[in-house]
Amino acid sequence: MDKRVLMTGFDPFGGETVNPAWEAVHRLDGRALQGGWTIVSQQVPTVFDRSIAVLREAMGRVRPQVVICVGQAGGRAQITPERVAINVNDARIPDNAGQQPIDTPVVPGGPAAYFTKLPIKRIVAALREAGIPAAVSNTAGTYVCNHIFYGLMHLIATEHPQVQGGFVHIPYLPEQVAGKTEPSMALDLIVRGLELVAAVAAAASDAGGEADLAVTAGQEC
Ligand code: PCA
């Protein structure tokens, strides 16, 4: 069998010299999963628009059945699959090309939001079962991560209807916060977690997009 999970990871941004997303994702390149699946890794730039162009090219070349984009969420303590991508760019800091869009759409005329069809609650349950801190997130922010997530969901809606896709945010690496108070997660644990995310998503794709677990991930404000 010949089935592929395309995983993307961003390059460093915001003054950091590493991005845990690419550090982890590139270690998974070529990793075989149960059921005849292989992970294919692709770096994407932390740049509005160009990130989606690189993703679109990679989807055309790799022809994946599952796509999982991964980004750094500095300050989070858990691996967090995202529920929803929104059609807005609102950048607090410039991207790696110096662009800082404010309140522009990712896709002019596109829907306000897309929900992932990945089984995010199944993924969180599997991660916790493996002893890896995880939670569903209900916002991917308004920077390049939400941007590529929305772009991915729009590509699925318009060009690749058979693909299942989603986005996962991960914490800082310990070396990024040495001397600070923010939480971090060791690279080995992030790599194991992302492999598990890919495995659960691949199994759900094999099962024809099975229903997610009916457990709450709700939050009050
Ligand atoms: N995190 C940023 C963009 C690139 C990344 O890894 C974000 O959360 O938008």
Helices (H) then strands (E): counts for the chain:
5, 10
State the Cα–Cα distance between residues 141 and 43, nearest whole angstrom: 20
Task: Report whether pLDDT(29) > 70.
Answer: yes
Q: Is 19 in the pocket of ligand 1 (CB under 6 A)?
A: yes
Percent of the chain with pLDDT over 70: 100
| pLDDT at residue 219 in the model | 87
| pLDDT at residue 163 in the model | 98
Q: Is 69 in the pocket of ligand 1 (CB under 6 A)?
A: no
The answer to whether residue 220 sits within a structural domain is no
The answer to whether residue 45 sits within a structural domain is yes
| pLDDT at residue 1 in the model | 60
| pLDDT at residue 158 in the model | 98
State the Cα–Cα distance between residues 197 and 22, nearest whole angstrom: 15
Q: Is 143 in the pocket of ligand 1 (CB under 6 A)?
A: yes
Q: Name the residues annotated as catalytic.
A: 82, 145, 169
| pLDDT at residue 74 in the model | 98
The answer to whether residue 185 sits within a structural domain is yes
| pLDDT at residue 221 in the model | 87
Q: What average pLDDT does this structure show over 134-152?
A: 98
Phi-psi region of 83 (alpha: psi -120 to 50; beta: other; left: phi over 0): alpha
Q: What is the mean pLDDT of the chain?
A: 97
* DSSP annotation string for 20-81: HHHHHHHHTTT-EETTTEEEEEEEE-SSTTHHHHHHHHHHHHH--SEEEEEEE-TT--SBEE
Residue type, 97: A
User: What is the CA(141)–ligand 1 centre distance, in A?
Assistant: 9
Structural domain range at position 64: 3-206
Question: What would the two tokens of residue 167 be?
Answer: 């986005």
Q: What average pLDDT does this structure show over 156-175?
A: 98
Q: What average pLDDT does this structure show over 51-59?
A: 98
Tell me the pLDDT tens digit for each residue of 56-68: 999 999 999 999 9
Task: Report whether pLDDT(154) > 70.
Answer: yes
State the Cα–Cα distance between residues 121 and 115, nearest whole angstrom: 13
User: What is the CA(72)–ligand 1 centre distance, in A?
Assistant: 5
The answer to whether residue 36 sits within a structural domain is yes
DSSP 114: E
Task: Report whether pLDDT(209) > 90.
Answer: no
Residue type, 105: P
The answer to whether residue 131 sits within a structural domain is yes
Q: What average pLDDT does this structure show over 154-174?
A: 98
Q: Is 84 in the pocket of ligand 1 (CB under 6 A)?
A: no
The answer to whether residue 214 sits within a structural domain is no
> Which 3-state string (H, E, C) describes 173-196?
CHHHCCCCCCCECCHHHHHHHHHH
- Which is the closest atom of ligand 1 to the Cα of 142? 9
Q: How many structural domains is the chain composed of?
A: 1
Tell me the pLDDT tens digit for each residue of 62-85: 999 999 999 999 999 999 999 999
Q: Is 201 in the pocket of ligand 1 (CB under 6 A)?
A: no
Pocket test for ligand 1, best of 22, 46, 89 (most atoms within 8 A of CB): 46
103 contact partners, CB below 8 Å, separation of at least 6: 88, 89, 90
Q: How many CB atoms lie within 10 A of CB 214?
A: 6
pTM, to two decimals? 0.98
The domain that holds 93 is classified in CATH as: 3.40.630.20
Tell me the pLDDT tens digit for each residue of 81-135: 999 999 999 999 999 999 999 999 999 999 999 999 999 999 999 999 999 999 9
Q: What average pLDDT does this structure show over 198-206?
A: 97
